[in-house]
Structure 1
Amino acid sequence: MHRKELAQILEQTLMAQPIKDFCPNGLQVEGRAHINKVVTGVTASQALVDKAVALEADALIVHHGYFWKGESQAITGMKKRRIEALLSAGINLFAYHLPLDIHPQLGNNAQLAQLLGIEIQGPMESGPSSVPVWGRLRTPLSGQAFADKIAKVLSRAPLASVVRDEVIETIGLCTGGGQGYIDLAASLGLDAYLTGEASEQTIHSSREQGVDFFAAGHHATERYGAKALGEFLAREHHLDVTFIDIDNPV
């Protein structure tokens, strides 16, 4: 497959063009023209780049790529070493941030909801590109039972603020660093809110507004979109795809 064809497939699948983001979505580093072997992962860290080089990949597709708004534009140090490794090996780097969070089937939110038994009902924000969504637990659970389920499914115990005696039926969801949406979850009358990270004020919001809160890890909640996207490319477009998980405790 030609690089341009893969770029078009990714663009059409993830509908990235109209989404305002903090980084460029799509091809970030150009490599060889022909693509057969693809590696997918969460973050284009040096460890993941090295794995892609070792596997002789033609393309690396990630959720967290490079060139974020607000960071230095200079290609030095860590950034220089990563990009140099990609260019030397002829590996294309594709990155999709918010488009890979919000895709209704392949996205991080959708994939995590499926794993945890949450049926997504709709967006928490107005407009077609809402990052947080809300849903209903297929089987309502107490806050502690839901925390236990997260720990079992994700193989990591979440930070949990269980403040309600009733079972959780409705829950807001935003993978990654979405802790700021807890107040929106409270305003919508949801029983609970799940994301990847927590801030100091998040726990106060949970306690004072009566919303159970769970922070299950930025990386742990975002492992599944890139994996699902790779499986889609292998199934529908016959590419050789390998998902590599570089563990991160955050």
Structure 2
Amino acid sequence: MTRNELAEYLSSFLQVGKFKDYAPNGLQVEGREEIKKIVTGVTACQALIDKAIALNADALLVHHGFFWKGEREVITGMKQRRIKALLTHNINLFGYHLPLDAHPMLGNNAELGRKLDISAAESVEGIAQGLIWQGRLDTPVSAGDFAASISGVLNREALHIGDSAAQIQSIAWCTGGAQDYIDDAASLGVDAFISGEVSERTFHSALELGIHYFAAGHHATERYGIQALGEHLAREFDIEHVYVDIDNPV
């Protein structure tokens, strides 16, 4: 598969044109033309780039790539070292942010819903570019038990705001830094909202809106979409895929 063929396929498959994003989606750093081996990971940090080099990858496919809105335009320091390593080893960098969060088959939200056994999971159209999902647990559980379940599945202790003894069943969620969607989640009438990150203000919002809130970790909630995308490419095309988890407690 060529670099351009992969870029065109992913642009169509992930419906990149639908989203107003904070970074470019697609090919961000150009490497060799022929792609036979892809390494996937959550964030294009130096440790992941070094691993892609060690694995002789032709392309690195990530959720969090480069060139974010508001970052300095100059290529110096940490950014220079990362880009230089990719260019020196002729490795392509592809990044897909909101399109990977929202994808209905293998996006971060779809995958998290499956991991947490949430039934009737679907995106909520009309708000937040379809990034908020909602569904139901098959049977009501205590909020404390649900927090423990999230922690066990994601291997990271989840923060819960609310009465641990209260029963919950209807759930909304959005992976990553989506804590400020809590108002939108509450407007859906659900019992609880899950995101990755949490802010100081989230505590007060949850209590005053009367909604249970779970912070499950930005990295922890966004491990699964990029893995699913890599596995999809390996099935569809003659490409080797290796997922590398550079753990991040945030």
The alignment's TM-score, normalised by the length of structure 1, stands at 0.96
Aligned to 1:241: 241
| 1:48 partner letter | L
Written as runs of structure 1 = structure 2, the 5 A alignment for 1:1-250 is 1-126=1-126, 129-163=129-163, 165-250=165-250
Counterpart CA distance in 2 for 1:112 and 1:123 is: 12
Q: CA deviation at 1:127?
A: 6.1
Contact 1:160 1:214 in 2 (8 A): yes
Is the Cα–Cα contact under 8 Å of residues 159 and 215 in structure 1 kept in the other structure? yes
The answer to whether the 8 A contact 2:113-2:121 is kept is no
Q: In the TM superposition, what whole-angstrom CA distance separates every residue of 1:76-96 from its partner, at most 9, and x where no partner exists?
A: 100000000000000000000
Deviation at 1:238, TM superposition (A): 2.5
Contact in 1 for aligned 2:144/2:164 (Cα 8 Å): no
SS in 2 for 1:42: strand
Letter matched to residue 10 of structure 1: L
Deviates more, 1:194-203 or 1:182-191: 182-191
Residue type of the partner of 2:97?
H
1:163–1:211 contact (8 Å) kept in structure 2: no
CA RMSD of aligned residues (A): 1.4
Question: Deviation at 1:155?
Answer: 0.7
Alpha carbons of 1:128 and 1:145: their partners in 2 closer, same or farther (altered >3 Å)? Answer: closer
Match of 2:86, SS state, is: helix
Alpha carbons of 1:64 and 1:28: their partners in 2 closer, same or farther (altered >3 Å)?
Answer: same
Whether the aligned pair in 1 keeps the contact of 2:108 and 2:225 (CA below 8 Å) is: yes
Once the two structures are TM-superposed, the CA of residue 126 in structure 1 deviates from its matched residue by: 0.5
- Residues 1:128 and 1:120: Cα distance change in structure 2 (over 3 Å): farther
Is 1:163–1:207's contact at 8 Å kept on the other side of the alignment? no
> Which secondary structure does the structure 1 equivalent of 2:73 belong to?
coil
Distance 1:147 1:176, change over 3 A: same
**Higher mean C-alpha deviation, range 207-216 or range 91-100:** 207-216
Question: Are the aligned partners of 1:141 and 1:167 in contact in 2 as well (CA < 8 Å)?
Answer: yes
Distance in 1, Cα, partners of 2:84 & 2:105: 34
Aligned-residue offset at 1:4:
0.9
- C-alpha distance in structure 2 between counterparts of 1:128 and 1:212, whole Å: 20
In structure 2, distance between residues paired with 1:155 and 1:166: 23
TM-score where L is the length of structure 2? 0.96
Moved more, 164-173 or 124-133: 124-133
Instruction: Give CA-to-partner distance per residue, 1:39-62, whole Å, 9 cap, x none.
Output: 000000000000000111000000
SS at match of 2:60: strand
Label 1:248 to 1:16 Cα distance change in 2 as closer, same or farther (>3 A): same
For residue 165 of structure 1, report the CA deviation from its aligned partner. Answer: 4.9
Deviation of 1:176 (Å): 0.2
Q: Is the 8 A contact 2:110 2:121 kept in 1?
A: no
Instruction: Provide the rounded CA distance (Å) in 2 between the counterparts of 1:178 and 1:33.
Output: 36
Distance 1:226-1:199 versus aligned 2 partners, 3 A rule:
same
Structure 2 residue runs without a partner (length 5+): none
- The secondary structure found in structure 1 opposite 2:181 is helix
Corresponding residue SS for 1:129: helix
- The number of aligned residues is 250
Aligned AA (1:99): P
SS class of match (1:51): helix
**AA partner of residue 155 (structure 2):** S
